[in-house]
Chains A and B, each alone.
Chain A
């Protein structure tokens, strides 16, 4: 956080300038409201569950996710010690799904971080400085939104070369426009408010105004948008891996697992079914949570 000589002045109660510290009673109130939403709680439960599964995957997994055992290939669920069956190379599907949750959660976190940092800088700068800079930035954002996003992700990923890392970059890039727009909109609303004017008249620098006055008050929409983007990132990463452009074998990535099972759908339904369900549930968790958070944190964004 940038320190300035005005620290003592601006933090004095009389100035009442920078963002107020998080109000405990407000947080509590929001939690109470959040708790009333069954769907949001279900979302939180799903996410916590997947996080725990990812964290304790080495302990929980009955086997090695990469260990091949060809004599037991395509074993049915509940047979031969395979709870969810085995794939074409005789690997335990349950173990692969458990380790796969690490990949999916990590992919989501990294690509959303890319979107939030890049989109955040663009949105903050465009919204705060306005003028030609804003016009230029927003035209570029519009241009990015003129592309159908999944297509853009496929092309970026294919151009950079198929790998999980490039998939995260591609997904991070396609997430930039929506984050930038949300942040710009809330900066525009925030920067004209009296407390910002007050702090500006006290001589606060641009950096200080942006980071310590305006940004903390834009956190709510950023959290909501990031949660929904997290859901989108998981599903896009799975789609890219399914197409062979993301995670490469033998990584236990969910989309790649579905892809490897698609040749056996006439005989072994379980190879694609369980990893697909995992994708669905994880994405659903983030969508439910994002929806619930939106209702609580940002009533303006309600549909």
Chain B
């Protein structure tokens, strides 16, 4: 009965259509995820911009302060003894340094200062650290040097 067989395959059953709709829905959700990724990308970029701004700000402020007051923000802000130095995220909350909240995100600034033998040149390393939405730490590190001549 070729005719009967043909008739069976002519249309879609309700189940088939519903499955197709579910697949479509999953596809649309996937598209929505793209957009979420873009939004997150923008938010991440904004946070990097803020962190860079804060780190630069800290470095520039060191250029016209009292020579003896340029000291590391110890203790606990960074891991001692490891080169290159890393900031110790776990102790940032209690570390001497400072922190600010910009648009709902808390940024921690810590800095390390090392002097040369004659104490005429200081190398200043500043970290600005923050946590993203997944509680993952990020940081930006900037380094500068300063001499003690005339507060320049």
A in complex with B: no
Chain A residues engaging chain B, CB cutoff 8 angstroms: none
